[in-house]
Amino acid sequence: MEIGFIGLGKMGMNMVTRLRQQDHRVIVYDRAANLVKEAEEKGCIGASSLEDLVSKLSAPRAVWVMVPSGAPTEETIDTVSGLLDREDTIIDGGNTKFHDDLRRASNLQSMGLHYVDAGTSGGIWGLQIGYCLMVGGEKAPVNRLEPIFTTLAPPNGWAHVGGHGAGHYVKMVHNGIEYSMMQSYAEGFELMSKSSYNLNLPQIADLWMQGSVIRSWLLELGASALKEDPKLEKLKGFVQDSGEGRWMLMDAIEKDVPVPTLSTALFTRFRSRQEESFAEKMLAALRNAFGGHSVKR
């Protein structure tokens, strides 16, 4: 099958490589010309601009957008939609807020264009393992794109989960669960790191991968990280978030659904970015003020 692909970052490059491994015709564009050249070396057809990319595709066209969420995705889709013809399809594979999918789909439908949102999980390992794809949109364009999804995903690794926005909605919840799982592992390993037993954390992480009820791919990645740096001395405890946890929390509040584990995991990430928390300084000041408790100056 033929597809246009915009965005050749870590995931994008691996995705086009995987597509070429099964001989799909892939036309690529990225603002970084060296990345386009790298993709050409993998068998892709390079484009010098978005206009050039569209001109090299046959109707009905399919263009996959894999750029950072927010303004970059919005601007790219706005530009590409003005270059396409009726019955062409735009696929957003990034981490977009599902409300934006609904708005975009409506706007593109008025132009005669199809819109598919594809929540994509797999990270930098997707090239070898495949990408779990959570796909939202109309049935007809999704069915037409089935060869692309089947190539990118492992066996049984993609599904059409619902209408416009459903793919990114399911991916949002997926990432919220991911936040909570990561936090649970982090807390358990911190406690063990302070045990008087002098525990071998890499060994325990690997042990838990052998049939335990808490085994997972995340734990496997944690075991690898601990083998490389048992005390994680090469890292700072600074943890970013890409937005999905916030969106899930807001959606849960709107629906009166308690998500305390996600809330704690998300707020812990916020705390990790502060050298010193004003709130904790305030706690110290209050304890000193009412009880004369010692403080560090």
Residues with a catalytic annotation lie at 171, 178
- Alpha-carbon Rg for the chain in angstroms: 23
For residue 163, give the 3-state DSSP assignment: coil
**Of 117, 7, 15, residue with least CA distance to 53:** 7
Measured CA to CA, the distance from residue 156 to residue 133 in angstroms comes to 10
Residue for token pair 């978005």:
50
* 259 neighbors 246 (Cβ within 8 angstroms): no
Measured CA to CA, the distance from residue 184 to residue 268 in angstroms comes to 11
Give how far Cα 134 sits from Cα of 246, 250, 266, Å.
19, 21, 23
